[in-house]
Amino acid sequence: MKLLVTGGAGYIGSHAVQRLVRDGHEVTVVDSLVTGHRAAVDPSATLHELDLRDTPALTELMLATQPDAVLHFAALSIVGESVQQPLRYWDNNVGGAISLLSAMAAGGVERLIFSSTCSTYGEPERMPIREDAPQAPINTYGRTKLAVEGLIQDHAAARPGFSYAMLRYFNVAGCDRSGRLGEDHRPETHLVPIVLQAAAGLRDGVAIFGTDYDTPDGTCVRDYLHVDDLVAAHVCALERLRPGRGDALNLGVGRGYSVRELLAVAKRVTGVDFPVTEAPRRSGDVPVLYADPSRALVRLGWAPECSDLETILSSAWRWHQAHPEGYA
Ligand code: UDP
Q: How far is the CA of 285 from the centre of ligand 1 (A)?
A: 8
Parent domain of 167: 2-173+224-251
Which of 207, 236, 251 delimits the end of a domain?
251
Question: How distant is the alpha carbon of residue 216 from its chain centre?
Answer: 27
Q: Give the angle subtended at the CA of 8 by the CAs of 6 and 14, to the nearest 5°.
A: 150
Residues 166 and 17 in one domain: yes
pLDDT truncated to tens, each residue of the chain (328 aa)? 999 999 999 999 999 999 999 999 999 999 999 999 999 999 999 999 999 999 999 999 999 999 999 999 999 999 989 999 999 999 999 999 999 999 999 999 999 999 999 999 999 999 999 999 999 999 999 999 999 999 999 999 999 999 999 999 999 999 999 889 999 999 999 999 999 999 999 999 999 999 999 999 999 999 999 999 999 999 999 999 999 999 999 999 999 999 999 999 999 999 999 999 999 999 888 999 999 999 999 999 999 999 999 999 999 999 999 999 999 8
Residue nearest to atom 19 of ligand 1 (CA): 190
Q: Is 207 helix (H, G, I), strand (E, B) or coil?
A: strand
Inter-residue contact 121 to 136 (CB < 8 Å)? yes
Are 169 and 307 within one domain? no
Do 62 and 118 fall within a single domain? Answer: yes
Sheet holding 111-117, edge to edge: 46-49, 26-31, 2-6, 69-72, 111-117, 163-169, 246-251
Going from the C-alpha of 291 to that of each of 81, 121, 276, 311, the distances in angstroms are: 25, 11, 28, 20
Last residue of a domain, one of 233, 251, 269: 251
Centre a 10 Å sphere on the Cβ of residue 301 and count the other Cβ atoms it contains.
10
Protein residue whose Cα sits closest to atom 4 of ligand 1? 191
Whether the CB-CB separation of 240 and 299 falls below 8 Å is answered with yes
296 within domain boundaries: yes
Here the CATH number for the domain that contains residue 165 is 3.40.50.720
- Show the ligand 1 pocket: residues with CB < 6 angstroms: 171, 189-191, 194, 206-209, 220, 222, 259, 282, 285
Catalytic residue among 11, 89, 141, 290: 141
Same-domain pairing of 97 and 246: yes
Q: What is the CATH number of the domain that holds 200?
A: 3.90.25.10
108 and 88 in a single domain? The answer is: yes
Q: Which of 201, 235, 251 is the last residue of a domain?
A: 251
How far is ligand 1, taken at its centre, from the CA of residue 197, in Å?
A: 14
Please state, in angstroms and rounded to a whole number, the distance separating the CA atoms of residues 321 and 64. 41
Known active-site residue 141 = yes
Q: Is residue 69 part of a domain?
A: yes
Instruction: Give the per-residue SS3 of 221-258.
Output: EECEEEHHHHHHHHHHHHHCCCCCCEEEEEECCCCCEE
pTM for the structure as a whole: 0.98
The C-alpha atoms of residue 31 and residue 328 are separated, in whole angstroms, by 17
How many domains would you assign to the chain?
2
Residue 52 belongs to some domain of the structure: yes
